[in-house]
Amino acid sequence: MAQRFQAPRKLVELAVEQLKKERVVHPHASFNDRAEHGLRKEVAYRDRDFLHRLARTKEVEYIDEALQWLKRLDIVSSNAAYDKNAFENYRKEIKRIFHGSWTSFTPVMERLVYMLTSVKRPRRLLELGCFWGNTLAWFAGPCVGSEKQFDADVIYGVDWNKAMILQARKNFAQLPNSDKVTLIADDARNVIEQLQGPFDMVYLDANDPDKVPGLYLILLKQIYDQLPRGAWVLAHDIFDYEQADDLIDYVEWVRDKNHFTESLALDVDWCGIELSIK
Shared-domain flag, residues 160 and 42: no
**What CATH number should be reported for the domain holding residue 263?**
3.40.50.150
209 pLDDT higher than 60: yes
Stretch 10-16: mean pLDDT: 90
Shared-domain flag, residues 102 and 202: yes
Shared-domain flag, residues 36 and 119: no
Query: Which of 143-152, 164-173, 238-247 has the least mean pLDDT?
Result: 238-247
CA distance 51 to 53: 5
Instruction: Flag whether the pTM goes above 0.85.
Output: yes
- Count of structural domains within the chain: 2
Q: Does 148 reside within a domain?
A: yes
Q: Does 33 reside within a domain?
A: yes
Q: Does 135 reside within a domain?
A: yes
CA distance 110 to 271: 12
Q: Does 119 reside within a domain?
A: yes
Shared-domain flag, residues 184 and 48: no
Shared-domain flag, residues 107 and 29: no
39 pLDDT higher than 60: no
- Tens of pLDDT, residues 224-253: 999 999 999 999 999 988 888 899 999 999
Domain with 44 in it: 4-52
- pLDDT number for residue 225: 96
- Tens of pLDDT, residues 106-144: 999 999 999 999 999 999 999 999 999 999 999 999 999
Q: Does 57 reside within a domain?
A: no
Shared-domain flag, residues 114 and 20: no
38 pLDDT higher than 80: no
Shared-domain flag, residues 104 and 38: no
Shared-domain flag, residues 15 and 143: no
At 30, the pLDDT band (50, 70, 90 cuts) reads confident
Contacts of 70 (CB under 8 A, 6+ apart): 76, 80, 119, 264
Residue 42 to residues 159, 237, 268: CA-CA distances in angstroms?
Answer: 40, 24, 19
Q: Does 72 reside within a domain?
A: no
Shared-domain flag, residues 108 and 47: no
